[in-house]
Amino acid sequence: MKWEIWRKKLIYVVPALVIFVLLYSFTHIQREPEHKQQIQILALGDSVFGLVRDETGIPAMLGEALGKTIYNGGLGGTCIARIDRENRLDNYMESLSLAAITKAMESEEFGPQKAVYTKEPIKQYYSSTIDGMAAIDMESVEIILIEHGLNDFYAGVPLRNEEDPMDEYTFAGALRSSIESLKKANPKARIILVTPTYTWIRGFYNCEEFDAGYGNQEAYVEEEIRIAAEYGVEIIDVYHDFFPHEKPEDWELYTADGMHPNEAGRRMIVEKILSYLNGGEK
């Protein structure tokens, strides 16, 4: 009688055990490492890099002129700093900030970034750009070029937190954190910051007049210059003495809307970066 009971139990136990062993084997099998993309220059930034992604975009023109492989990691509308402290779990833009992206590069974990979903047609390139960044072999990168900060200024991101210099909800703290993460991700890469250019708000206000609560645009540029010196990273200044701005209508010369450079403006920025890389001119 006891054997009959055990026999019936074995009918169910043995198949279950076999299934468990098979599932365990499949889920713990040694996986081949994913193929990493070899990139010589990584370009990070906002819409100045990210909006135009054809051959007239700044990263594409730089790669062509230098004869180097370059990846355009520009994400339009993003900041250096994390934003929206109260509702940050619901704010997908926080995970796309430079502070968050560089932490993902340091840890090689892009889960929060890959979870981003946007219905905005102008930002449909986000997913493919993030996938591309996640596939980069950071050890292959020679230069990390960062053009950022304009959205922080116009969004009214606090410049700094005197009590916490690494506060990622401030411009200065997020920039410090980003530089530190990139240095950990690749200690050998040259980190080069590119300041925002002079801007106008649809031709009405210029960036010297506008203040979202923490100073005009030059205050953010000067903070970026100070932090570059603090960390010993390179910086290319395309704010001071760059785009003409003596007359109100000067915004039409090198920008499409007062903020985003037109093709002439993009070529001017490329020439400045090339001049710096070839001869050290700032």
Residue 187 CB contacts under 8 Å (≥ 6 apart), including other chains: none
The pLDDT value recorded for residue 11 is: 53
Query: What average pLDDT does the segment 7-14 reach?
Result: 49
The mean predicted confidence, pLDDT, of the chain is 87
Tokens standing for 195? 């300041």
Pairing of strands 205-206, 234-236: unpaired
pLDDT of 256 over the 80 cut: yes
Q: Is the dihedral of CA 169, 187, 270, 76 positive or negative?
A: negative
If asked whether residues 2 and 104 sit together in one domain, one would say no
The pLDDT value recorded for residue 83 is: 87
pLDDT of 219 over the 50 cut: yes
If asked whether residues 27 and 82 sit together in one domain, one would say no
Query: What average pLDDT does the segment 30-40 reach?
Result: 71
If asked whether residues 145 and 251 sit together in one domain, one would say yes
Q: How confident is the model at residue 196 (pLDDT cuts 50, 70, 90)?
A: very high
If asked whether residues 17 and 89 sit together in one domain, one would say no
If asked whether residues 153 and 253 sit together in one domain, one would say yes
CA distance 225 to 58: 22
The Cβ-side half-sphere exposure at 110, using a 13 Å CA radius, reads 20
Q: Which domain holds residue 189?
A: 37-279
If asked whether residues 51 and 14 sit together in one domain, one would say no
If asked whether residues 132 and 90 sit together in one domain, one would say yes
Angle between helices 98-107 and 126-134 (to 10 degrees): 30
Total-model pTM: 0.85
CA distance 272 to 195: 12
Q: How confident is the model at residue 85 (pLDDT cuts 50, 70, 90)?
A: low
pLDDT greater at residue 187 or residue 119: 187
16, 49, 138, 215, 274 from 183: Cα distances, Å: 50, 22, 11, 29, 23
Tokens standing for 232? 């010993």
If asked whether residues 85 and 132 sit together in one domain, one would say yes
CATH number at residue 172: 3.40.50.1110
The pLDDT value recorded for residue 14 is: 47
Q: How confident is the model at residue 279 (pLDDT cuts 50, 70, 90)?
A: confident
